[in-house]
Amino acid sequence: MTEQTAEITPGQFGGVDPAAAGQQLNDKIGLKLVEMTPERVVGTIPVEGNLQPYGLLHGGANATVAEALGSVLAALNAGPERAAMGLELSCTHHRAVRSGTVTGVATPLHVGRGTITSEIVLTDDEGRRTCTARLTCVVRDRPPR
């Protein structure tokens, strides 16, 4: 897979606050979205800068990637007139990562009117699974502006 950053366009997701654009946690961890469709969202983060005290990738970084990719997937499936917000996140950390890049792939498990659940699989540079996560988002009609 070639590294090409996918762009989020204004109006692509319902109810996104433009004032929050420069304050995204995704930017702070170095998340790059490389593919975005309703069937699959892919993103990467560098391990460097996202470590815990023992020199391993922080579990919270895994959770952040999972929540971000699953939320984008849910928003794409919800459509521009609806808002998707995280309801429950579960992460199982399988393997430590000390360097390189972690890639996450989110795919839908359930797409309903009220909830969207996705599975997010994170792998290291060798393609080894490092974390499996499941995110359920609640979907609501976007409030009037």
Q: Output the CA torsion sign for 9, 65, 49, 126.
A: negative
Task: Look at residue 119 and tell me whether its pLDDT is greater than 50.
Answer: yes
Q: How much helix, strand and coil, in percent to the nearest 5, is found in the chain?
A: 20, 40, 40
For 43-102, the pLDDT digits (tens) are: 999 999 999 999 999 999 999 999 999 999 999 999 989 999 999 999 999 999 999 999
The whole-number average pLDDT for the span 112-140 is: 98
Domain housing 105: 27-140
Q: Output the CA torsion sign for 21, 44, 12, 67.
A: negative
- The Cα–Cα gap between 96 and 75 comes to 30
Does residue 4 lie within any of the structural domains? no
Q: Which two tokens stand for residue 1?
A: 């897979």
pTM value is 0.87
Task: Look at residue 1 and tell me whether its pLDDT is greater than 50.
Answer: no
What's the CATH number where 37 sits? 3.10.129.10
Q: Output the CA torsion sign for 63, 126, 72, 30.
A: positive
Number of structural domains in the chain: 1
Catalytic residues: 67
